[in-house]
Structure 1
Amino acid sequence: MYFTETASLHEIEKLMKMIPNFSPRGHGMICGEERETETISLFKALAGIRYPPFQRRLRQYSKESEMNPMDYRNEKHQVVFENTIRKKNRKDYALMSAFYLLTADYMLWQSVRQCVVDNIIRFEEIRLQGLNENSYTLFCAAKDLYLGTDCLTISDLADTTLIPPKIFGLICNGMAVRRFGLSAIHLTGGSK
């Protein structure tokens, strides 16, 4: 939630909310190596989440997707995502994770794309219409990763009746992108 009214003031407000003398999340170095060149497994990327039901679901998902890892929902998702980020700030991991999730669903992306200006997604201007629950779940996850809101909880993600496996996988990939950047997914296909 913002107290200011314009996108430029939202950016300043984001900076004001940050903890002083700490680097932004997702822009660090690990073991002396930048994560840009290395791929990350989902389990490694999300191991810090200490909620046992979520960890069980993540382990189960990792086992099921071991033979057929999913970087994108389908080829169309990959093409739209890559076209969307072509001229965007790829070092803004929050922006990249939001784009990853928002472009995963065609109808969702059609509702959202006019509210993207330069490197800012204006969530307050988005008016969703005609979406199913999976599209809305992706929207909520994108908003959470971009703005730090709490539309979805870890217990929501752990619930197999609430979030289907394919959507769970996309959200986990989005969380990995938020943490490690585009190295969490492959931009040219392949497997994790």
Structure 2
Amino acid sequence: MSRLFMYGTKLQEVEQLMMLVPRFAPRQKGLIVVGKTIGVKGGIQKCRSCEKCGKENCGGTACTNLTNSMGMGRVTYREMIIECFSEISHFYFRKRLSDLIASSPDGWFISEAHEKRFENVCEMLKIHKMDRNPRYLATLFLLTADGRLCSLAKEHIYYNRFEFKQIRLNGMTTNSYALYQVAKTIYTGKEYIKLNEIADRHLIDHQTFMAIIHAILIVKYGGEILSLEM
């Protein structure tokens, strides 16, 4: 029996939000952070490097110019982040980005356990990272970043879709809830988390913030970055 009185109705998600982790404000009209950063609604935008090279928008699902340059050692992790988030002026968000860059992460995943969970799902579903839609990979990246979230979501992850409405969110921490909300935002293109929430150090810890930023980089530059040295 479902623990939700409104299960199966249009009010199901509202009831879920009422029962979830405190401190997240109700969704209001505001900035869709991934929409502002990577153009979720309007497709991937050209990066400034492409414009400097005089390239036309190829219409691809991800910008490969900086990814290729990073693979050849021409672009650093810092430069990739600056390029991706250049239009975001939020002071505390940019301060967190600076701190992330200064921390010099060892890899794209936040832990060995995260990488193992991600790779296990890819292997189970026969997902090839290089040729999958970047938004799909970024969503999977976030849903596997936290052990509790992954255990709740794994039965609702499919080769070509995610069934967010079927994921029962119980016993989650604030950080795992933030990962879920950003994953849902990336996948649907609708706002489920606000920029000021992502920028709040008291709400989202460093590892979770790193996972969110790296997921957005995956959407921008494709799954190829996961195979690149940082």
TM-score bin, normalised by smaller chain: 0.7 to 0.9
Q: CA deviation at 1:19?
A: 5.6
Using the size of structure 1 for normalisation, the TM-score is 0.74
Partner of residue 224 from structure 2, selected from 167, 183, 189: 183
SS in 1 for 2:176: helix
Structure-1 residue corresponding to 2:111: 74
Conserved? CA contact 2:63–2:220, under 8 Å: no
Bigger Rg, which one:
2
Q: How does 1:10-49 map to 2 (within 5 A)?
A: 26-30=61-65, 37=71, 41=77, 42-49=81-88
Q: CA RMSD in A?
A: 3.0
Contact 2:218/2:225, CA 8 A, preserved across alignment: yes
How far apart are 1:109 and its partner, in Å?
Answer: 0.8
Rate the CA distance shift 1:130–1:173 in 2: closer, same or farther, 3 A. same
- The counterpart of 2:176, out of the listed 135, 139, 153, is 135
* Number of residue pairs matched by the alignment: 170
User: Given the alignment of the two structures, is residue 160 of structure 1 paired with residue 201 of structure 2, yes or no?
Assistant: yes
Percentage of matched positions with identical amino acids: 23
Q: Is the 8 A contact 1:36 1:181 kept in 2?
A: no
The structure-2 alpha-carbon separation of the partners of 1:45 and 1:69, relative to structure 1 and needing over 3 Å to count, comes to farther
TM-superposed CA distance for 1:166, in Å, is: 1.2
User: What is the alpha-carbon distance in structure 1 between the residues aligned to residue 60 and residue 202 of structure 2?
Assistant: 31
Residue number among 134, 141, 144 corresponding to 1:100 in the alignment: 141
SS of residue paired to 1:55: helix
Residues 11-69 of structure 1, C-alpha deviations (whole Å, 9 max, x = no match) = xxxxxx9669x8767424437x8579567623443333232321122012211x12x43
Which residue identity does 1:57 align to in structure 2?
A: R
Q: 1:140–1:152: 8 Å Cα contact kept in structure 2?
A: yes
What is the TM-score of this pair, normalised by structure 2? Answer: 0.63
- Which structure 1 residue ranges, 5 or more long, are not aligned? 4-16
SS in structure 1 at match of 2:222: helix
Residue type at the aligned position of 2:86: A
Write the deviation string for residues 111-134 of structure 1: whole angstroms up to 9, x where unpaired.
111112221011122111221111
